[in-house]
Amino acid sequence: MVHENIPLVFAAEAIACVQAVTVGRDLGITHAEIERDCLTIIKKV
């Protein structure tokens, strides 16, 4: 268990990925390079 609210490492990574994309969008970033680990998470989500 990573945290009482996040039981899996995969879930923690997925939340971090979503938060990064959200912040980028809020900052007006229109292009981003997604690395392999995040791409795997996006495909699974």
Does 3 reside within a domain? no
Does 4 reside within a domain? no
Alpha carbon distance 10, 28 (integer Å): 27
- DSSP for residue 4: T
Number of domains in the chain: 1
Does 30 reside within a domain? yes
pLDDT at 29: 93
Does 20 reside within a domain? yes
pLDDT at 2: 56
Under a CB-based contact definition with an 8 Å cutoff, are residues 2 and 26 in contact? no
Does 38 reside within a domain? yes
- DSSP 3-state of 2: coil
Q: What is the pLDDT of residues 1-45, one digit of tens each?
A: 556 766 677 777 778 888 888 999 999 998 888 776 666 666 766
pLDDT at 41: 67
Under a CB-based contact definition with an 8 Å cutoff, are residues 24 and 32 in contact? yes
pLDDT at 24: 92
Handedness of CA 41, 42, 44, 45 (dihedral sign): positive
Q: What is the residue range of 28's domain?
A: 9-44
